[in-house]
Chains A and B, each alone.
Chain A
Amino acid sequence: MSQSPGAAVSSGSAPPAEAIPRPDVPAAPKPLAAQRVLPLRRPGRWIITAVVLVLVAQIAHGLVTNPFYQWDRFQYWFLRPTILDGLLITLEVAFYSAVLGLLGGILLALARLSPSPVLRAVSWVYTWLFRSVPLIVVLLFLYNFSALYRTLSVGVPFGPAFFTFDESRIATDMAIAVIGLSLNEAAYASEVVRGGILSVDQGQHEAASALGLPKRYQFAKIVFPQALRSITPNYVNQLIGLIKGTSLVFYVSLLDLFGSVQSMGSTYPGDIVPLLLVATAWYLILTSVVSVIQFYVERYYSRGALRTLPPTPLQKVRNGLREVRARVRRETAI
């Protein structure tokens, strides 16, 4: 009785268990420690998985076979020049607004964190105002006041877009769209940036100023790179909102992706559904590209913050294969 657990333990520590035959224990089965542990069976999980698979298959089947979606028309529209022109405008508006919005957001965040009560108040009021007013209202305001725009433009801190103001009608609409989106974006970005700066340990500020590092260097090289680690996911969230928000520029008569889908839809009323699918597909692609970029940017800024960086998708695949191979080897060995 007392012998068998003792035997199991000792054979676990001494690898060749069979090498030492024990005459008093005849033809014993494999010792306990050498046997593989059987995993717990989970029938409930299998049933739920099967149900979900059936549902997913149904949806996929519906998407493919339902004539309502008109996939041939989708194919026809997907790479049409009008759609691609619209896509280009969406990209342009989104890009300029994202850059200007982030710059504005950084300035607003710095103002909000500054010791000057006036700067703090101005920054707070700006953020309060533009987070309260719907983007579409801001855009229509700008559009309707475009006659007054030149005088209004002097005090607004977003430069580059103004240079295109006097050019063709399209450029003006573009300027209105970019300014409107940037004003809105800056308000949200300022809170994202401020949150990121606040997330950097106070000790970092102290260490930087104890070393006598110049103020600008402290921000640009010590605090901001660390803040970016928490700014990135939040700002990408914001950026995805912005990409979808560009669909509103249709209302200031700018033919972006959504705008060209809308206008084609009114010309070809039968194709509305495939056209909306085309827009959906392109927005999905844009968001996916941004998400992939986000992964690598986050990975870059987590250097030093993590002991080991998260694996890239390629590394994940390679690790997965290695894992499978190792398991196969283990199974065959037992």
Chain B
Amino acid sequence: MSGEARRTTVKTRTDPQEQEQEQEQEQEQVTGTGTAPAAEVIGALGIQPAAVEVHDVHKWYGAHHVLDGVELTVRPGEVTVVLGPSGSGKSTLLRVINHLEKPEIGHVSLNGELIGVRRHGERLKELGERVILGQRSRIGFVFQNFNLFPHLTVLDNVAAAPVATGKLSRPEARQLARDLLARVGLADKSSAYPRQLSGGQQQRVAIARALALRPGVILFDEPTSALDPELVGEVLAVIKDLARSGTTLVIVTHEIGFAREIADRVVFMDGGRIVEQGPPAQVLDHPQQERTRDFLSKVL
């Protein structure tokens, strides 16, 4: 029974998807010019921007259908901003992408490689914990509440993961951490502990920590929602810098102005589904769906 229901949702989605593809092609011409000089910056960091595909993902919390057949394609270097009311499944979508949450149906892939599962004949089989952890180290994640490790210094927060995952030696990792901290404007804070920093500074450290693994894509889960209005700007500036450098970013946020400024594509979610997506000029200024218009009229 549920299988039939699913199939119908997939069918209804195919039509808007074709529209999207046309939109994406238009959009590529717009962004294409900006990426050329930025590629060097990423080269310096050693980051290869990756593509993310979310295919027909369903997720339930008990009886609550949190993700209801989400379909999303993010091309390498693209900046995608996810908007939507709270409880619409935005954060869950991000957490499914790096497999912090396991989808019940559907799958996610990074550059064509399945995340958290492998193909087993006609079915998908869960991967071992160690493999999943390895995959996660290629997906950066920035939390709303920073979640820095309070017992480690800022430098160790950034340098820990590359060492623990065996990617770099300790001195290499510390050097990289210093470079990254300089890049987010916190070179002088490397020996401080996270609780001694302001929220904005903590979030910038968290971004440096995510960058230390040279991830192909970075996911931001409401990165400025826990910050004083005054401190939002410094974090957005760092994200903007990353966006310009051509890293693949997926950002859940409530900052509409910021979305308009940096997004290549805006995705609007409600009730666990993607209601509408397209370039910011279209979704934010000329929304097609009633629900999107309603949301934007309240937020803007």
Chain A residues engaging chain B, CB cutoff 8 angstroms: 201, 203-204, 206-215, 217, 221-222, 225-226, 301, 303-307
Q: Write the nearest CB–CB distance from A302 to chain B, whole angstroms.
A: 9
| Choice from A207, A214, A221 contacting B133 with Cβ under 8 Å | A214
**B153 surroundings in chain A (CB, below 8 A):** 304
Looking at B137, B150, B196, B209, the one whose CB has the most chain A CB atoms below 10 A away is B150
- The size bracket of the interface on B is 20 to 34
Q: Please tell me if B134 contacts chain A, counting CB pairs below 8 Å.
A: yes
Interface of chain A, main secondary structure: helix
Contact B136–A210 (Cβ < 8 Å): yes
Looking at A201, A204, A206, A211, the one whose CB has the most chain B CB atoms below 10 A away is A211
Contact B129–A210 (Cβ < 8 Å): no
Contact A203–B147 (Cβ < 8 Å): yes
Contact A305–B213 (Cβ < 8 Å): no
Looking at B141, B151, B160, B165, the one whose CB has the most chain A CB atoms below 10 A away is B151
Chain B residues engaging chain A, CB cutoff 8 angstroms: 98, 100, 129-130, 133-139, 141, 143, 145, 147-153, 160-161, 164-165, 193-196, 209-210, 213
A-B contact count (CB 8 A): 79
User: Given the known A-B contacts A301-B151, A304-B151, A307-B196, are A210 and B100 also in contact in the complex, defined by CB atoms under 8 Å?
Assistant: yes
Contact A211–B151 (Cβ < 8 Å): no
CA–CA, A303 and B150, complex, Å: 8
User: Given the known A-B contacts A217-B164, A226-B150, A303-B151, are A212 and B195 also in contact in the complex, defined by CB atoms under 8 Å?
Assistant: no
Contact A206–B133 (Cβ < 8 Å): no
* Residue on A nearest B135 in the bound complex, by CB: A212
Q: Write the nearest CB–CB distance from B240 to chain A, whole angstroms.
A: 23
Further pairs besides A211-B213, A214-B165, A306-B195: 15, Cβ < 8 Å = A207-B141, A207-B149, A208-B149, A209-B133, A212-B134, A212-B136, A212-B165, A213-B161, A215-B130, A225-B151, A226-B149, A226-B151, A303-B151, A304-B193, A304-B194
CA–CA, A304 and B147, complex, Å: 13
**A206 surroundings in chain B (CB, below 8 A):** 100, 143, 147
User: Given the known A-B contacts A304-B152, A305-B150, are A210 and B195 also in contact in the complex, defined by CB atoms under 8 Å?
Assistant: no
